[in-house]
């Protein structure tokens, strides 16, 4: 999977939007962009993913640049519960069946620590 680059940390006030950038300049045409987040002392949880078009769900929005070399996770109204480490991950969509190939692996980087201030 191609590499991603994220800022180490970001701060936001409660009730304000948070824009988390992710650079992936070596992304391939078959790479999906995934976001996970990890709350303190918990396992990561899925947030959102996309390929080319912007995506919205109940947790967040994902804005993908036209050249796909960067993306932004948007938390529309940050709450204290959104304080977590956010991971941007690229996943190759090509299918590998019936092998122990490393296709199934998710490569988690250091992520971005989001701090939400009341």
Q: Which residues bind another protein (CB under 8 A)?
A: 32, 34, 36, 41-46, 49, 51, 87, 91, 93-95, 97, 99-100, 102, 104-111
- CB 115 to another protein: min, Å: 14
CB of 63 to another protein, least distance (A): 17
Quote the least distance from Cβ 16 to another protein, whole Å. Answer: 26
Which residue from 26, 84, 51, 67 is spatially nearest to 75, judged by alpha carbons? 84
Whichever of 13 and 52 has its CB closer to another protein, that residue is 52
Q: Which is nearer to another protein, 51 or 74 (CB)?
A: 51
Strand ranges of the sheet holding 9-13, from the earlier edge strand across to the other edge? 9-13, 112-117, 84-92, 31-38, 45-50
Burial class (CB in 10 A: 0-12, 13-18, 19+), 24: buried
């Amino acid at each position: 999977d191609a590499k991603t680059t994220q800022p180490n940390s970001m701060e936001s006030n409660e009730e304000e939007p948070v824009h988390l950038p992710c650079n992936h300049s070596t992304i391939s045409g078959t790479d999906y962009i995934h976001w996970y987040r990890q709350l303190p002392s918990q396992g990561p949880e899925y947030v959102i993913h996309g390929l080319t078009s912007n995506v919205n769900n109940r947790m967040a929005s994902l804005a993908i640049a036209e050249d796909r070399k960067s993306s932004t996770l948007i938390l529309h109204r940050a709450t204290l519960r959104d304080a977590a480490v956010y991971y941007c991950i690229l996943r190759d969509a090509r299918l590998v069946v019936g092998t122990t190939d490393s296709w199934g692996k998710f490569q988690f980087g250091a992520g971005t620590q989001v701090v939400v201030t009341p």
